[in-house]
Every structure is written in structure tokens, then in C-alpha cells.
Amino acid sequence: MRLEVGQKLAVDITLRVGSVTQGVKVTAGSEVLQTTDASVGEVVEPTSIRELPLNGRMLIDLVLTVPGAHVGFGVQTGSANPLYWRPGQRSAVVIGGSRPNANFFLLDGATNTDPTFNTQNLSSSPDAVKEFQVETSSYTADMGGAGGGQINIVTPSGSSQYHGTIYEFHRNGAMDASTFASMGNKHLVQNNFGASFGGPLFGRRTFFFVNYEGLRLAQAEAQILTVPTQDEIMGDFSRSSVKIYDPTAAVKNPNYNPSLPTGPSNFPYTRSQFPNNQIPSGIPTITSMSATKTILRTRAPFAWIIISRTATLCWLATLAVVKMDSPRAAA
């Protein structure tokens, strides 16, 4: 009999006196009906953790193999709400139509959920995970804490023999095509590296397992910057939709109501817009400032440019696992 994480099985065994016989019997039967647990979910096996490709070795990506789970908002780039994303960790997984921050995470039975954002607190390396269970509905009484999925991760233990791994996964942009935003800068260097080791300790009564994994990522980053056109540098904003006001003509607004929210229709001061949205020649503009020499310029009719630079985005490590097990027999 094999029990996976989160499963329960009761077997009634009756012993009686009988003769000693030997034989081989092959039978085919259906799976035993589960009557003690009504939860719906799936266990991600060690084979899936070991064999399936993982970009960046993000373990939580394997949750997407469970029916009812799909990618949440902001999980790929982390450019959205920080409640759903952390550098080097993907936690924005939607299970059963719930919100990305409505899941509950456990690590070896202990709570691994960030109490502030309700996302995964510590991310484990795939080499430091034996298997994990994802429950999508009908949770048991010992699970809870959120209305979405319940993700229970179990770390491996050392065995009676010494085993270890050393690994590195390298990715670069040598074969990548240039995009419009990259401006020819295809720099990408991503290194996932680590090691794990486990075995017996203290006369084979205590077993240990340790793991460490690091991530180093440097890649090109494109940004779109708004810069003034040549006409705007000279003070002519007639083609701009932004209204330019005379800062020297500000007077108190007699209709201002301090009990109401401040906004365009309820502002403490009123100012006069420059005629035709053009700054008169007598008022200092960008041209007369020292910043003119360092300001970015464009010859295009639109007021934005793209710059591409190489940035180090991640210098991280996953949760370092150090586990000691000392089995004891109980009467």
C-alpha cells in the first residue's frame, strides 16, 4: 500500500491460525472507493518535479498541471500588483476561479503563507521537494486559511545511503531574435545552480538532507521615455494635449470648498493658461536652462524614445533546506 501526502487509509486486518502455503495469485480490481476524504485535488509526483521543464526552476509552475489551476495576473513579469508577485517567486496562481492571493501554502505541514499578501512565503528548490499536493475544493478540517487552493509541499529526507546532486542550468540570448524594443541589445544570462546531499548520521539512526540553490539573472531591459519635441523645447506646446498654465498668475479660488476632495473642479488656486498653449519668449523655458545639454532629444514627430540597457534583475537564493530525521518506534 502506498500513501501520498494528505491521504488517509484504514485497513482492518484479521489474523487466524493456518497452514503455511506458497502461491502466486494475480487479480484485477477497481480502486478502493475513498470514503474517509472528500477533498478534490491531485498530488504532483516526484517524476513530474524531476522531468518536466521549468523556466527559472519555479516549483509553483507545476501547480498549473492540476485541473482547475491557471496562470494569475502578473505572474509572468511581475509588472502588475506587487500583492501577487515577488522577485524570483511566482505565487500568482488562480485555483478554482479564486483570486491569486486566496491560496494557502504549507511546507512539511507548517504554514508557509505570507500573512500580509497571502502568497507563498518561502520558495523551495525543485531538488528539495519530494512531492506536493494541491487541493482545489472540499478541504478536510485540518486545512484552511484561504478560500482558494491548498498547496502542501513535502521535502525529502535522507536515506540509509549517501546521495547528492550538483547542477547548473544556463540560459543566454545567443539564439534569440532582436525585437523592436530591444534595439539590438539581446543580452541575457540566467544561471540556476545548486547542490543537495543527504544520508545517514549517528549510526544510521538519524538521517539528514541539505539543499541550496541560487539564481543569477542579467538581461536587457527596454524603457520608453517621454521627451520634449524640438517645438516644446522652444516653449511651443500647441500640439500637446497637456494644458500649460502661467505659474506667476496663480490666485486663490473663491469657489474652493475644503470639505470636498481636491480635484480639477475643486482646486485651491486658479491659473491662466498661456495663449495658444505657447510660453511667451520673456519667460524662461527649457532652452535657457542648463539641463538643455543633458536632456534627451528626438527628431521624430512624437515625443518618446526607446532606450535599452543591461540590468541585473535577480541575485537570489531559494529556501535553503536543512532537515534532520530520527525515526522512533512507538508502542
CATH number at residue 45: 2.170.130.10
Q: Is it the case that residue 112 has pLDDT exceeding 60?
A: yes
What per-residue confidence (pLDDT) applies to 331? Answer: 38
Instruction: Give the per-residue pLDDT at 78.
Output: 41
- Which pLDDT band holds residue 50 (cuts at 50, 70, 90)? confident
Model confidence at 13, pLDDT cuts 50, 70, 90, reads confident
Are 71 and 195 in a shared domain?
no
- Give the model's pLDDT for residue 76: 42
Confidence check: pLDDT of 270 > 80: yes
Greater confidence (195 vs 236) lies with: 195
- Pick the range with the lowest mean pLDDT from 30-34, 146-150, 263-267: 30-34
The reply to whether 256 falls in a domain is no
Provide the pLDDT confidence category of residue 83 given band limits of 50, 70 and 90. Answer: very low
Render pLDDT for 285-304 as a digit per residue (tens, 0 to 9): 655 555 556 666 655 555 55
pLDDT over 80 at 266, yes or no: yes
Distance of alpha carbon 158 from alpha carbon 289, whole angstroms: 69
Q: Could you tell me if residue 214 is inside a domain? A: yes
Looking at residue 289, what is its pLDDT? 58
Region 62-76 average pLDDT: 76
One domain, residues 200 and 321: yes
pLDDT at residue 33, as a whole number? 53
| Backbone phi and psi for residue 287, each to the nearest 5 degrees, phi listed first | -60, -35
In the prediction, which pLDDT does 299 show? 59
Task: Give the count of domains, the chain.
Answer: 2
Alpha-carbon distance 119 to 101, whole Å?
6
Cα distance between the two ends of the chain: 22
Residues 147 and 169 in one domain: no
Give the cell for residue 137.
475544493
Q: Does 133 reside within a domain?
A: yes
CA distance 291 to 144: 58
Q: Domain for residue 77, yes or no?
A: yes
Q: Which residue has the higher pLDDT, 251 or 319?
A: 251
pLDDT tops 80 at residue 27? no
The answer on 141 and 106 residing in a single domain is: yes
Residue at which a domain ends, from 131, 154, 177: 154
The full 3-state SS of the chain, as one line of letters, equals CCCCCCCCCCCCCCCCCCCCCCCCCCCCCCCCCCCCCCCEEEEECHHHHHHCCCHHHCHHHHHHHCCCEEECCCCCCCCCCHHHEECCEECCEEECCCCCCCCEEEECCEECECCCCCCECCCECHHHCCEEEEEEECCCCCCCCCCCCEEEEECCCCCCCCEEEEEEEEEECCCCCCCCCCCCCCCEEEEEEEEEEEEEECCCCEEEEEEEEEEEEEEEEEEEEECCCHHHHCCECCCCCCCCECHHHCEECCCCCCCCCCECCECCEECCECHHHECCCCCCCHHHCHHHHCCCCCCCCCCEEEEEEEEEEEEEECECEEEEECCCCCC
Q: Predicted confidence band at 121 (pLDDT cuts at 50, 70, 90)?
A: confident
**Residue 184: predicted pLDDT:** 74
Same domain flag for 138 and 214: no
Same-domain status, 167 and 216 = yes
Q: How many residues does the chain have?
A: 331
Q: Do 128 and 46 share a domain, yes or no?
A: yes
Rounded CA-CA distance 171/54 in Å is 12
Q: In this structure, what C-alpha cell is assigned to residue 172?
A: 543566454
Higher pLDDT, 292 or 264: 264
The answer to whether the beta carbons of residues 92 and 58 sit under 8 Å apart is: no
Residue type, 72: G
Domain residues for the domain of 202 are 163-225+310-325
Q: So what's the pLDDT on residue 256?
A: 92
Considering the domain architecture, whether residues 169 and 206 belong to the same structural domain is answered as: yes
Average pLDDT, the chain: 77
Q: Are 318 and 216 in contact (CB under 8 A)?
A: no
- The Cα–Cα gap between 179 and 44 comes to 37
Using the predicted structure, report yes or no on whether residue 166 has a pLDDT greater than 90: yes
Residue 321 included in any domain: yes
pLDDT for the residue numbered 205: 82
> Cβ of 218: how many Cβ atoms within 10 Å?
16
Do 187 and 46 fall into the same domain?
Answer: no
CA distance 86 to 141: 30
Q: Average pLDDT in the 187-198 region?
A: 89
Looking at the fold, whether 47 and 118 belong to one and the same domain comes out as yes
pLDDT of residue 290: 54
More confident residue, 295 or 164: 164
pTM above 0.95, yes or no: no
